[in-house]
Amino acid sequence: MTFVAFIRHGLTQWNMEGRMQGRAEVPLSEQGRAALRMVRAPALLVGSRWHSSPLGRAIETARILGPGAFAIEPRLTEMHWGTWEGETLVTLRARYGREMQENEDQGLHFRPDGGETPAEVQARLKSWFRDISHPGRPVTAVTHKGIIRAALALAYEWDMLGPPPVKLDWNAVHLFDASPAGVVVPVALNIAFDPGNGA
């Protein structure tokens, strides 16, 4: 088993507007950058191997919070929302009505128009878990909400129907233990960042 710590990227304008970002290159907002500069990664991440999604908002977060060098990992890219990127759930539900509800009721197999399902996100996560497997060499992943929710669903066997088994603080660190076979165990969730020099 390998300890994997997940960090969501800092705040963007689309986050504040409730828009689906997916693969869109939406930069951190000034508010998001300022908030990241006020904190430091928890001491428990010292010595871990850092990986980042290839999207700019994750890379910038890794540069602000990380120890320096980090690997770019495509499998940590946000869930693909297809033609719905830039939309809000409120707008989509109003536009598609019952069709949207039936799609959401698929849980892990919910598919945005032209996008991927959470189950497909889990498949690429499992592939990544296999490749990073190295007991005693933890990994810190700077990534996205959809990726972390997929890991949470694996850990709790949550079908993504109904509320999540644990309420996650998206401004915190979430630590799991992952096996090469894709078995995921929650270790400690909602770990606060340490205060930074500006705090």
The pLDDT of residue 135:
80
The pLDDT of residue 85:
98
Range of the domain at 50: 2-195
Domain containing residue 142: CATH number: 3.40.50.1240
pLDDT tens digit string along 130-186?
A: 999 988 899 999 999 999 999 999 999 999 999 999 999 999 999 999 999 999 999
Answering whether pTM is above 0.85, one says yes
- Show the tokens assigned to 15: 């986050």
The pLDDT of residue 198:
57
The pLDDT of residue 129:
97
Domain count, the chain: 1
